[in-house]
Structure 1
Amino acid sequence: MPTPPPTGPLVTRDTLGAELRALGVEPGEILLVHSSLSSLGWVCGGAVTVVHALLDAVGPDGTLVVPTQSGDLSDPAGWSNPPVPEEWWERIRAAMPAYDPLITRSCGVGVVPETVRTWPGALRSAHPHTSFAALGARAAEIVAGHAPDCRLGERSPLARLEERGARVLLLGAGYDSCTSFHLAEYRIPAPLVEVGRPAAGGGWEKVTEVSISAERFDELGRDFERDRHVLRGKAGAADVRLFPVADAVAYAERWLALHRPREEEMLHPPA
């Protein structure tokens, strides 16, 4: 069978940059990007083109930030996609390499964040599971000080982004990937959980963390977009949304307390 021709539209560095600027991305701003490369259409140059276009849009004085999570450095007892045999668990814990911000690959966030992570000059935060990578004028101050026991809370880059007036760009991605909503979870009553991971000095460690979940984030996003000012448009074939981190966090803090109460979970926290 012959390979079918690619579906469009054709996306280039220039067309994507122009569409981002038309949407409202401004030179000099700090932009937290959640992305889906496949949603854009046929991108000439792939993820490299997307990163170039994003950097063009924010300019030399701007800063590009992406999530570079590495949740695969986790306890195999909790793996489900796919699971591994229980008799492997202890051997996996003993052999799993510790997080290294320079070489640990991102996992589950797409090819654009992984491209940013490996871009010349990129800086990455220190959390073993929920790091962020940044490029640009304010990259260092955003990724610094990411506490090892604070995945997405007050001592993470999300709080730095909120303080500095950053905006979120959903580039073909849905609200279920909006990490800013997680910062709100740290500001309302939430259960604590023990999170396992390989220790930097060798062996296995467990850290007590706030329980976070993207459950109902899609509903939260729809209500947020209905009630708050969200810039919407297209980039290639992708739906694009642009809004301040601070607006998303403030709205989610109220919405989650009302629509996703966790009192029962507080009484019976996960093991």
Structure 2
Amino acid sequence: MHTKKALVNELQALGISPGDKLLVHSSYKAVGQFEGGPVGLVQALMSYFNEGLLILPTHTWGKINQENPLFDPATEPACVGILPNIFMAQAGVLRSLHPTHSVAAFGAGAESFVAGEELIDTPCGRQGCWGKLLDMEAKILFLGATLKSNTFIHGVEEWNDIPKRLTDERELLQIKLPTGIIQSPQHRHIGDVSQHYDKLYEPFIAHQLIRQGSIGKASSSVIEAKPVYELVSALLRREPDLFTDDQAIPVSWY
């Protein structure tokens, strides 16, 4: 049985401090048994970040679309695992209003972090939460997850205007607010280039941009948003179609 005390030691070994701003991509199944189950793990993470900002993706792109256009942030479940769904139900956690790529946040600055997502019309707008990760120099933890789940890289591609990543037309989506329903036309991702994001491991290791360890039974790693943005942007300027295949990135490029 994995314990809260062990979790604290593992987070510290990964270079994660209670005052950090941290986004977590997660696989609870990979962790193994944790005291209190998945709820216990979520609450342990919230307790650790008593001075910082804890963020989990609560994406709904798997269900919210042109045929099912209404996003209700109060009730719509996330399509990215059990921990995000438990997290956004905890007291003090705030969910952003993006209809397909929302996040939930807890801690210092959570309200300002999630604010304004209803104004974003792309999955990872530069002025939205994913861009704010860059501005605040956040860390990103892959807790039993791989770089294939790295939504931040979708943002890097979007901010570098990589062609054929977003639809030209916008789907007519909606957001349910306490005051009524608002319209939220959205460009959507084309294809699934994220399946090739794990080709970034070698460049990250070469530039010492990734720290690896474990949480419970889960192989885990941490990256920092700003240096990752800078390296990936440089690679994309050299090859905009970098993530359209699984070919290794030539060492000479980085």
TM bracket, shorter-chain basis: 0.7 to 0.9
Contact 1:195 1:209 (C-alpha < 8 Å) held by counterparts: yes
- Counterparts of 1:62-211 in structure 2, within 5 Å, are 62-71=52-61, 72-75=63-66, 93=67, 96=68, 98-107=70-79, 109-146=80-117, 147-188=119-160, 189-191=162-164, 192-193=166-167, 194-200=169-175, 206-208=185-187, 211=190
Deviation at 1:167, TM superposition (A): 0.5
Q: Cα distance 1:197–1:226, how it changes in 2: closer, same or farther (>3 A)?
A: farther
* Number of the residue aligned with 2:249: none
Moved more, 63-72 or 98-107: 98-107
Look at both structures and tell me which one has the larger radius of gyration over its CA atoms: 1
Q: Render the CA deviation track for 1:11-41: whole Å, top value 9, x for unaligned.
A: 1222212211232211211110011111112
Counterpart of 2:171 in 1: which secondary structure? strand
Which ranges in structure 1 are unaligned for 5 or more consecutive residues?
A: 1-9, 76-92, 265-271
- TM-score computed with the length of structure 1 as normaliser: 0.77
Deviation at 1:259, TM superposition (A): 4.5
Deviation at 1:220, TM superposition (A): 2.0
Cα separation, 2, equivalents of 1:45 and 1:257: 46
Cα separation, 2, equivalents of 1:203 and 1:48: 33
Read off the aligned partner of 1:122 and give its amino acid letter. V
Read off the aligned partner of 1:244 and give its amino acid letter. E
Q: Cα distance 1:53–1:203, how it changes in 2: closer, same or farther (>3 A)?
A: closer
Deviation at 1:48, TM superposition (A): 1.3
Q: Render the CA deviation track for 1:206-233: whole Å, top value 9, x for unaligned.
A: 5345757414101123322332332211
* Number of the residue aligned with 1:236: 216
Q: Render the CA deviation track for 1:185-211: whole Å, top value 9, x for unaligned.
A: 123232341343543477997534575
Match of 1:222 among 190, 202, 206: 202
Contact 2:32 2:217 (C-alpha < 8 Å) held by counterparts: yes
Deviation at 1:150, TM superposition (A): 2.5
* Number of the residue aligned with 1:80: none
Contact 1:195 1:208 (C-alpha < 8 Å) held by counterparts: yes
Cα separation, 1, equivalents of 2:209 and 2:69: 44
User: How many residues end up aligned between the 2 structures?
Assistant: 233
Read off the aligned partner of 1:124 and give its amino acid letter. R
Deviation at 1:70, TM superposition (A): 0.4
User: Quick check: 1:12 aligned with 2:26?
Assistant: no
- Counterparts of 1:47-58 in structure 2, within 5 Å, are 47-58=38-49
Counterpart of 2:199 in 1: which secondary structure? helix
Cα separation, 1, equivalents of 2:43 and 2:189: 36
Q: Cα distance 1:153–1:222, how it changes in 2: closer, same or farther (>3 A)?
A: farther
Cα separation, 1, equivalents of 2:216 and 2:123: 33
Contact 2:120 2:127 (C-alpha < 8 Å) held by counterparts: no
Which ranges in structure 2 are unaligned for 5 or more consecutive residues?
A: 245-254
- Counterparts of 1:18-57 in structure 2, within 5 Å, are 18-57=9-48
Q: Cα distance 1:140–1:217, how it changes in 2: closer, same or farther (>3 A)?
A: same
Deviant stretches of 4+, over 3 Å: 200-213, 256-260
Q: Render the CA deviation track for 1:114-141: whole Å, top value 9, x for unaligned.
A: 1111111111111100001001111112
CA RMSD of aligned residues (A): 2.5
Q: Cα distance 1:205–1:241, how it changes in 2: closer, same or farther (>3 A)?
A: closer
Moved more, 234-243 or 191-200: 191-200
Cα separation, 2, equivalents of 1:187 and 1:206: 19
* Number of the residue aligned with 1:83: none
Read off the aligned partner of 1:26 and give its amino acid letter. S
Read off the aligned partner of 1:207 and give its amino acid letter. Q
* Number of the residue aligned with 2:238: 258
What's the % identity of the aligned pairs?
30
